[in-house]
Amino acid sequence: MRKPKTKNAAGRSAGRRTAKRVRSRYTADEVREIFRRFSVQRPQPKGELEHVNAFTLLVAVVLSAQATDVGVNKATRALFAVADTPEKMLALGEAKVGEYIRTIGLWRNKAKNVIALSEALIRDHGGEVPDERDLLTTLPGVGRKTANVVLNMAFGQPTMAVDTHILRIGNRLGLAPGKTPEEVERGLLAIVPAEYMRHAHHWLILHGRYVCKARKPDCERCVIADLCQAAERTSAIPAPLEPV
């Protein structure tokens, strides 16, 4: 007859389950050096979505789902020129918003969300974009990633917005492996030094977009090539650290 688990046995069992979780392949010193180099390379990284205030940033990020920043910017320049507040956007109406953003994927549904979130901001928040994640994610079309981008860029909070680039890099480099954006987010929040958290998600996005690209990483241009633990690399020599 099997003996019931004691407290210690249960604790050891829980410990074994915890140990199975995938950890970063890098030491704390290596992680610090990675982000130090990113900070030298891009001292003041910026998101590439054009906006004029917290509201237009929120709208731009909502529109950027399954679309490129370049495509969103082309559509929103004219839109934001006439509607840069929830009140103006609501007055414009869903059909007119749709005309401005027709070149963006899923534009019909996104137009509905833009009008609905404008209504919610006016009704529930006095027309202001809230600076709390839980409040942001109650808005139509706003998920955790969108909320994290807005909190970071509009309010300076040290959030980690995991997009497809960061999800890929977290796993390819073994920096913060995870099957979901939430797992990668938790992994990065646990290892990125506090002094680098403010810009960390921008550094990672830009690195994934322009250097550690999906189809063919450009390792010769990589400033962390000698630290990289990716299974496949084309170079182990880091590129010169020059601000861009």
Q: What is the dihedral of CA 26, 146, 156, 221, to 10 degrees?
A: 40
Catalytic residue among 145, 179, 213, 226: 145
Distances, alpha carbon 44 to alpha carbons 32, 40, 53, 213, in Å = 18, 9, 19, 21
**Annotated binding residue 38:** no
Residue 163 is a catalytic residue: yes
**Annotated binding residue 222:** yes
**Annotated binding residue 111:** no
What is the DSSP track for the chain?
A: -PPPPPHHHHHHHHHHHHHTS---SS-HHHHHHHHHHHHHH-SS---SS--SSHHHHHHHHHHTTTS-HHHHHHHHHHHHHH--SHHHHHHH-HHHHHHHTTTSTTHHHHHHHHHHHHHHHHHHHTTPPPS-HHHHTTSTT--HHHHHHHHHHHH--------HHHHHHHHHS-SS--SSHHHHHHHHHHHS-GGGHHHHHHHHHHHHHHTS-SSS--GGG-TTTTT---SS-S-SSPPP----
**Annotated binding residue 219:** yes
Catalytic residue among 163, 179, 213, 226: 163
Binding residues for [4Fe-4S] cluster: 212, 219, 222, 228
Binding residues: 212, 219, 222, 228
Q: Which residue numbers are catalytic?
A: 145, 163
